[in-house]
Chains A and B, each alone.
Chain A
Amino acid sequence: MLCSVPAIAQSSVLAEIPHTDKTLLQVSESALAKPITTPSGAELSVERKGELVRFTAAYEGVLTRSDWYQTTRSKPWVVFETRSSKFFEVDNRVLVTLSNPKQLEVVADEVDAIKAKQYPGLGYSIIWLQADRDPIGTVKRLQADQRVERAELQLKRPKMFPL
């Protein structure tokens, strides 16, 4: 059974984070202070209950997705992926391709990274951000950096488990 939610969403725009093969919209408590309807028709809203934050998605008033996030340990960085209509928490790893891979350490230092590692065969590097660092803002900053050919968020996916 799907639950109805009030259809009070208004058209607005959420920041889109460029990605090779996804459309990612940044969601947060402040961005969704008022419910927002995405161009694809998803009505997104947020509510807080103590230390918990819940993001919800609905279509034509019918709730299709909601996820709780705890805010005690660190702020959750969440995006809405439009094709799957799901929320994803963002990983603290950022994928980058540099025009000059030798600059990786410099670039990583500039974003206070824990570490960085090149994968030459795969054509990219990974930068590990501090847990309290804003990965979305960092990616936007890297995407604007002329030394960076590509910078992409990594989404936390359901864990893989032993079979």
Chain B
Amino acid sequence: MGIVALLLPNGCGSSSSSNGPDPVPPLTPVMATITAAETQLVEGRSNEVDIWVDLTPQVNRNVSVSLRFDGTATRNLDFEIDDDVLSFSPNQLRATTRLRALDDWLPEDTESLTIRMAEFSVATSAGVPSTVTIAVEDNLDAPLTKADKLGGGDLFVRASASFNQESATIEVRVINRGAASSSATNGYVGSYRLARPGELDRTAIEQIEIEVPPIDARSSFHTDVTLDLRKYTPNETYWVEASVTPPPEERFEGALPNRHTRGFTLNATGEILTRCIAPNRVRSSEGGDPLFESQWPLRNVGQTAFAENGGEAAEDLRMNDVLATGEPTGKGVNVAVVDTGLEICHPDLAENVVQEGSFNFKINAEETESWYNADASDPYFPGSRGDHGTSVAGIIGAHAENGLGLRGVAPDASLFGFNYLVEQCCLEDALGGSADAPNSQQIDVFNMSFGSLGSQYYELADGILRYGTSELRDGLGAIYVKAAGNGFRLCTHFMHQVHPTVGCNSSNGDRLNNLPYVIAVGALNAAGARASYSSVGSNLWISAPAGEYGVREPATITTDQFGRSRGYSSRGSRGIASNENADPFGDYSSTFNGTSAAAPHVSGVVALLLEVEPTLTWRDVKHILARTARRPGGLLNPRTDVRVMIGDQLVTISQDWVTNAAGFDFHNHFGFGVVDVDAAIALIREDYEPDSLGTQIRSDWFTTSSDGLQIPDHDGSGIEQQLNLDLPAGSNVEAIQLHIAGSHENLVDLSIQLTSPSGTQSILNPVFNEVLAGNISLDWRLLSNAFYGESPRGIWTLHIVDAAETDVGTLNSWALRVWYGEHP
């Protein structure tokens, strides 16, 4: 803190009335102090600070104070400041500005910045110079080098299992995510009996060696291994581990990317379990939902939810009115869980599962009505290490007030299970294109807690979802709720993130997330911050609670495969699995997380909204969620743009909240913000006319050819091109898709940004997006929701920057397509 004394004339503006020449008016000292909230900044991290000047005593006229900057730090290279002249209105005691340290991506020593008060508009005499000195520490970040961009030959293993009468086929896929070819190596598939939750009997039932040939960089190898189920004992659960050498590198903390485990349980006759057999459970004589107090997403009071720490009160779905009044409950709304399975006889789900409404996609794929004793309407998941769909279903619609476990967001919603993910056949059947086997056309809300990585446009999905939003619900349109992705920290090609606010994998890379028909949902933790894994992108629509890992910080508590030998609880004794009082039978998990947990919270909310007003269109639902969302309150959420120097230009690589020209707040980390249930319901009841957004029109593609235009290498000025969209005045953007084509030796170098005619900027592709690693051809569609409500008419500007040296590429063409309506 520095202090300076300004000397102001007494009785400012008055003059003395004594005889003779006017005396110099006596000066009254005004003390001014300059203060910085912090004096130590780190580039790109704790990188902003408030600077303020206080005047004592107050001055009854306008005052302005100029700031001067000295030291080794250079303005607009090492730091930027909002104002360098602070203005005080009469009697104002304090004026504040904000200073940010810029990330210049250059290795350098810690630099110093001294801020002085240079000029005072009212001063007649300077006092002691007032200064404050701030140290700006280098964060050692740099544009990822070639070596950093791609790791060194890491082998990843994914295993999947399918079962027949007497055998299990384990498909092992080995992926080389590194930059160099791997050497020939060995692997194995071994099967072990589960002795107790989390503990295997390490005597292998079967152990089968597999030979893995050299795998080129970013390529894969897959093979099948068959297990003989006749060697296994009835009524036991087994785990199958697929693994290859070498062991994982240290950077994969806690994860074992070269190993993947599956599980299965045999029944009394030694067959794989393929249908749900209801267990007997004693219900609490007091009724209610004994675990409700741990459900922080519904009412966050800082409870720990079986983790070590609690979150922040009120960082939840804001559904206090719903909980207090007991309505709405989602009654009459059909919600499909499109997932791995759904235990339709789970004690806390069965009452809401629609009889004969679900469908077993295993039967669909096998084309037999008797796939291993399965039932076509029982979407049973034969694996034993957790049925993802059963846990998703509990978040949406676990039955309430039944003396068991917990309650869903919409505890009277009608649940349908489609275990699409077990075969990945027939997206048409799973998402509304089929009138029989299954009848997915009766679904109001599809929950899609799954994802993929890869930038391919998925034309079939586009058609299916377009049909579903235009034809289902008697033309009002089904609502597709989709998990945004868990790739923020999934740094496999890269050795590290380029910046804490820029994730490794963008949500726009999922081949369903770039479609305007989905509501892409990001995840928040119990502190109201973006969950550590939650993918970010301009395609997000909304965010919802999901939590962290349930060990140190809360995850979501939900239904699990019932029993102690199956489910997430069988993996160990974390969270509620170690608490037999809270969960005496092993029917629940307190470690469920991911955007998979965020999406069903939103699906449940949508069910509530549709009960309140069944005539809402799918666009109404999106509009209401956006209009009533709130900014999350987490203290760790980013609150500033992040700009870095690329070449000699500052480029924004991560944006703070943007308020667009239609008044909608948007952030790539959160979409329009966190769902606010009570506000959404209040809006519907008080002030919302269904189907009032006008007819939605999908424009043709507006295209431009760039004809192999070279993208300047490592140059922040990049390529800037414009496209004039001659669309109706008075229309409102509902979504915009960018199609971009080109080639680059290392596509991850590219940042892609779009600016609307109203001046709103949106980063559609962040620098160093792993989704693009290993690709040299760019043929991609990206979605942005940041322009929602704005006019589409006018000049749109595309800005592409190559952020790293060496690799080069070209832009061939780009095009825009807009979905628009006429909003009231």
Interface residues of A, Cβ cutoff 8 Å to B: 1-3, 20-21, 49, 52, 54, 56, 59, 63-68, 70, 72-73, 83-85, 93, 95, 114-115, 117, 119, 121-123, 126, 128, 154, 157-163
Contacts and interface: CB of A to CB of B under 8 A. Distances in A.
A3 to B, nearest CB: 6
Given A68-B220, A122-B467, A85 B777 contact: yes
Contacts, number: 106
Contact of B596 (A21, A85, A162): A162
Nearest to B468: A121
B492 interface: no
23 contacts: A1-B179, A1-B180, A2-B217, A3-B217, A20-B459, A21-B459, A68-B220, A68-B221, A68-B222, A70-B223, A83-B741, A85-B777, A115-B367, A117-B434, A119-B434, A122-B433, A157-B454, A158-B452, A158-B453, A158-B454, A160-B450, A161-B450, A161-B452
Contacts of B166: none
Contacts of B389: 162
B224 A159 contact: no
Contacts of B180: 1
Interface string B153-194: 000000010000000000000000001110000000000000
Contacts of B218: 65
Interface of B: 150, 160, 179-181, 213, 215-224, 339-340, 367, 388-389, 421, 424-426, 428, 433-434, 441, 449-454, 456, 458-460, 463-464, 467, 471, 483, 485-486, 511, 594-596, 741, 775-777, 779
A119 B428 contact: yes
B425 A93 contact: yes
A63 B216 CA distance: 9
Contact of B219 (A49, A65, A126, A160): A65
Contacts of A84: 456, 775, 777, 779
A3 B777 contact: no
A115 to B, nearest CB: 5
A104 to B, nearest CB: 14
Contact of B451 (A56, A67, A73, A161): A161
A30 B450 CA distance: 38
A22 to B, nearest CB: 9
B425 A64 contact: no
Nearest to A70: B223
Contacts of B450: 160-163
A17 to B, nearest CB: 16
Contacts of A56: 216
A64 B776 contact: yes
A20 B471 CA distance: 24
A160 B222 contact: no
A161 B217 CA distance: 23
Instruction: Give 7 nearest A-B pairs by CB, closest first.
Output: A162-B388, A163-B596, A66-B216, A68-B221, A163-B483, A83-B779, A160-B452
A70 B211 CA distance: 12
Nearest to A95: B460
A101 B140 CA distance: 64
A67 to B, nearest CB: 6
Given A63-B216, A159-B160, A162-B340, 4 more contacts: A20-B459, A66-B216, A84-B775, A122-B467
Contacts of B222: 68, 70
Contacts of B485: 163
A163 B600 CA distance: 12
B170 to A, nearest CB: 13
Given A70-B224, A122-B467, A163-B450, A157 B458 contact: yes
A126 B426 contact: yes
B453 A121 contact: no
B779 A122 contact: no
Given A83-B779, A128-B367, A162 B421 contact: yes
Contacts of B460: 95, 154
